[in-house]
Structure 1
Amino acid sequence: MVVRWAAGIEVVPGAPLSPRVANAGTGRPVLTEVPGPRFDARVQDGRVMERHMRHIARALAALHAAKPPGEGTVTPESLPWEPLPLQVWAGLSGAQRQLIGTLHGDETLRNRGRSVRTALAAGNVWCHGDARTNNIVVAGDTPMFIDWECSGLGSPEADLGSLCGSLIFDCLNAMSAPKGADARTELRTSLGRATVLIRVVLTAYRTHSRLRLDSALLGGAAGSSLLCRALMRASQTRLDRVVAALAGVGRGLLLDPARWRAIDAHT
């Protein structure tokens, strides 16, 4: 069982990668309860500390260095690049339909998205597969990963791209200024805050991991993650500018590796 395996990996002495399994049963395993908000809420309200980010990076480095518990392939985040069934299309909001139309109409973007997804599943380290901030809980002062359904063998960029994309999403998701100059200022501030958090994560990961990261693939993974978040966000808000910002940044990162170099200082 992957969850029990992950709970047995210590990031540092006494700090496991995942909460321990309280009850396995015959269905989904029940983990030890971890009270308090998820990590995404901490990021959005500004209560996240740099030590938390460094620990999460170290946790991913420990995961990627561990002996794989199986032979399955990671299931990275993926956009609906293929035509949707009519019943699914009928249930989408107007903003969702517009975004999907844009995705399907841009052949270059579609081909790049497919190639990135293929590359993320081609590695040989065990990945969480859905390493977003909403799949991280904090026990005391220790972040731990939950929800391992997408885990499997893949490239480390699958986890780091998902994490970095979710950090950008969390920072943009908190935007509330009206349109105009205030909104543009808030957008720049939010992206700047996300960049600081991402640099802390990647610096710590590189410190604790021997793996060499592919910058273009990492940027593409983060861009794909943001486009997925834009599609999800479109069903939750009337703030089209938030959706547009998520989609615009995601598309830029997916198509142009140079934009990722502006975020990742190491590159």
Structure 2
Amino acid sequence: MTNVMPPTTSDGLEKAKVTALFRPMASLTEEDVARWAAAIEVMPGAQLSPPVVGTDGGRPVLTEIRGPRFDARVQDRTAAPGQLRHIGIALAALHTAPLPGDGTVTPESPPWEALPLRVWGGLTLSQRQLTGTLHRDAALRRRGRAIHAALTSTAGQAWCHGDARTNNIVVSGDSPMFIDWECAGRGRPEVDLGSLCSSLITDELTLAQAPKGAEAHQELQTALRRAAAHISAVLGGYRAAEGHPLDPDLLGGAVGCGLLSRALMCASQTRRDRVVTGLTGMGRALVLDPARWKAIDAHG
């Protein structure tokens, strides 16, 4: 068992203390990764993930956390800036930890390729319409494939969660922790930050209830301002904790892909066309022109 104590960051935040539980291996189970992640200390007394207490059907059973998942905190307006900053620090701790293995991350992604018939048959009508729209847009598909290839590149040498959405974060006191590690592996850190940022935007946008017109436009702008403030806190924490340098164009493209994935998920649950259309429009714009991301992340 090896204890690694990284240096202190410039703003006084201590970087993660990592206990390496495993030698690198070609294939890790989700339980292996969950146990490894639970040993990462984001800051004194705050762990990256809850401890593993057993298994159920091959999946790890984690210590019960009575606090809510973070998407609920965002949607009921109880997500504190300090918690958002902590999430960024936690991702920096994850991305700078010694690699536990050689598996490749499995990021969420819209279906850029043709779907098997059994999958297509399980989609709602709204999902089929949106998938058809994506498949008919050659430029979007080409850019989406390129972004996916870059995100799964091992050049970044970071171990990523792979599905770092707000509903995969639980809150114990003031310390958010990540759960559900089945998509984890090596890749670019923009995988996790793109997933997180896109889910923060979606959490805010899905609260919009105003009818069409000027009131709806104002509500959309308010939702985006709130999401931008959340994202700024997360990325501020990540950068202060000296996570990996981020490629702003790749991050913007990753957020775009995440928003398109969120649009497909929303289409499976509801026919709230305004939300699905909004997520699709923003996602497509960021995939085709990632430089638009600078409007939210001016420090990128």
Q: What range is the shorter-chain TM-score in?
A: over 0.9
Match for 2:141: what amino acid? Answer: R
1:114 aligns with 2:148: no
Task: Show the counterpart of 1:71.
Answer: 102
Whether the aligned pair in 2 keeps the contact of 1:128 and 1:150 (CA below 8 Å) is yes
Deviation at 1:210, TM superposition (A): 4.8
Q: Where does 1:63-102 land on structure 2 (aligned, <5 Å)?
A: 63-102=94-133
Q: Segments of 4+ in structure 1 off by > 3 A?
A: none
Rounded to whole Å, the distance in 1 between the matches of 2:113 and 2:192 is 24
Q: Which moved more, 1:217-226 or 1:171-180?
A: 171-180
Whether the aligned pair in 1 keeps the contact of 2:91 and 2:243 (CA below 8 Å) is no
Match for 2:233: what amino acid? Answer: V
Which structure has greater helix proportion? 1
Three-state SS of the structure 2 residue aligned to 1:29 is strand
C-alpha RMSD of the superposition: 1.2
1:237 aligns with 2:254: no
Match for 1:74: what amino acid? Answer: V
Match for 2:221: what amino acid? Answer: R
Three-state SS of the structure 2 residue aligned to 1:250 is helix
Tell me the number of residue pairs that the alignment of Structure 1 and Structure 2 aligns.
267
For structure 2, the 5+ residue unaligned runs are 1-31
1:18 aligns with 2:30: no
For structure 1, the 5+ residue unaligned runs are none
Deviation at 1:128, TM superposition (A): 0.5
Q: Where does 1:208-247 land on structure 2 (aligned, <5 Å)?
A: 208-247=241-280
Match for 2:73: what amino acid? Answer: R
Task: Show the counterpart of 1:49.
Answer: 80
Whether the aligned pair in 1 keeps the contact of 2:168 and 2:178 (CA below 8 Å) is yes
Three-state SS of the structure 2 residue aligned to 1:235 is helix
Whether the aligned pair in 1 keeps the contact of 2:71 and 2:166 (CA below 8 Å) is yes
Whether the aligned pair in 1 keeps the contact of 2:67 and 2:173 (CA below 8 Å) is no
2:65 corresponds to which of 6, 26, 34: 34
Whether the aligned pair in 1 keeps the contact of 2:248 and 2:291 (CA below 8 Å) is no
Task: Show the counterpart of 1:207.
Answer: 240
Question: Percent of aligned pairs with the same residue?
Answer: 64
Whether the aligned pair in 2 keeps the contact of 1:199 and 1:265 (CA below 8 Å) is no
Rounded to whole Å, the distance in 1 between the matches of 2:64 and 2:182 is 18
Q: Which moved more, 1:209-218 or 1:64-73?
A: 209-218
Give the TM-score taking structure 2 as reference length.
Answer: 0.86
Q: Which moved more, 1:142-151 or 1:179-188?
A: 179-188
For residues 46-84 of structure 1, the C-alpha deviation after alignment (integer angstroms, 9 at most, x for no partner) is: 110000001000000000110011110001111111122
Deviation at 1:95, TM superposition (A): 1.6
Rounded to whole Å, the distance in 2 between the matches of 1:223 and 1:25 is 35
Task: Show the counterpart of 2:4.
Answer: none
1:186 aligns with 2:219: yes
Whether the aligned pair in 2 keeps the contact of 1:3 and 1:148 (CA below 8 Å) is yes
